[in-house]
Amino acid sequence: MPTTGQKKITTKRRPRTLTAAKGGAEPSLRQLGRVTETPLSPEAAVLETVPNPQPGVLYLARFTAPEFTSLCPVTGQPDFAHLVIDYAPAKKIIESKSLKLFLTSFRNHGAFHEDCTIRIARRIIAAAKPGWLRIAGYWYPRGGIPIDVFYQTGEPPKGLWIPDTGVAAYRGRG
């Protein structure tokens, strides 16, 4: 508040535009920081990437989705899985909101466990072109049989620390 003899100065400030350098979203990102509807299908989902902030450094990034759901392609009943996605980024990293939306798009998608798991891996590979990727799909029992699906792009890079997925094999009630 101005005191006696002081004049209040008002200025119009332009809205601050956040750029990647200022901690904002990449200009090419269409989902991060915006209200985004769940894609109707995995094909309609957009998996976005950003430049790797640590290019040339060998490291592992992990996404864990313990509540992944899809539909049985025969019965239409829901299937549940705990997914663990490990990858060694190269030039790009996966933007996590777009990954969440992509994974959520499977909720109304009918496919077998093997197809869902491998399809997710292939989309990440196509989008980010990682140096290495592994996905573990721990599917809850269907018809009394749990189905676990594992895929990796090849031998992991030498020197890459790869922790255990941390998901125990299904044991039932025993």
Residues forming the active site: 72, 79
Counting Cβ atoms within 10 Å, is residue 36 exposed (0-12), middle (13-18) or buried (19+)?
middle
What's at 98, amino acid-wise? S
What tokens appear for 62 in the block?
């992990």
> Distance between CA atoms of 36 and 52, rounded to whole angstroms?
24
What tokens appear for 108 in the block?
């109304």
> Distance between CA atoms of 50 and 59, rounded to whole angstroms?
16
What's at 79, amino acid-wise? D
Instruction: Pick the closest to residue 100 from 85, 79, 87, 112 (CA basis).
Output: 85
